Amino acid sequence: MIAIVDYGMGNLRSVQKAFEFLGHTAKITDRATDLKDAKRIVLPGVGAFNDAIDALKKSGVEKVMKDEIKKGKPFLGICLGMQMLFDVSYEDGIHQGLGLVSGEVKRFETSLKVPHIGWNKLNIKKKTPLFEGIDDLNFYFVHSYHASGCRVEDIETTCDYAYEFTASVNKDNVWGVQFHPEKSGDTGLKLLANFAKIN
């Protein structure tokens, strides 16, 4: 079973439907027992960083989630779920993240339209099982903030929008993607299928 963390925010159902389409059991849950029983954990998210972090902590699943990650359970953060993995975000103030991956979250500094919305191509920086067998590297983005100051060894892919930014990260059993695989057609489904196979 794949546990999709429910903290009252995010496009949880669309992520669940994508995994179900692929033939996997996926459960939207905020129960500690479900996170412990799950083979993998997914943290989606849409909205404001501070509201999301507060909701995650108030739901009581933050500690359990971190404990399961420490045990080596595969974990995937999507969009805001990826941003929450980092140390700090500068969205509407300074807010502490989960501290699972080194780095910070900053707003795009560009004359181009923000938020960055639409399809964009990734640049592979290191090979991991998440992108295995994926030749079409175009994915769908919707975001105004992005990861910055990441360790080089944690950067899985980058993307170009006014300048090069981190599009996905991987540290041990933790993955984070800034784009929306559940909105990225067959390519996104292939990525989710890859995650579902990671042990």
Catalytic residue positions, numbered: 79, 180, 182
- The encoded tokens of residue 157 equal 């892919």
Q: Report whether 27 contacts 51 (CB < 8 A).
A: no
Q: Report whether 41 contacts 65 (CB < 8 A).
A: yes
CB-based contacts of 12, cutoff 8 Å, min separation 6: 4, 6, 28, 44
Q: Is the dihedral of CA 187, 190, 195, 196 positive or negative?
A: positive
Q: Please classify residue 170 by burial: count the beta carbons closer than 10 Å to its beta carbon, then call 0-12 exposed, 13-18 middle and 19+ buried.
A: buried
Tell me how far CA of residue 10 lies from CA of 72, 94, 170, 195, in angstroms.
25, 21, 22, 19
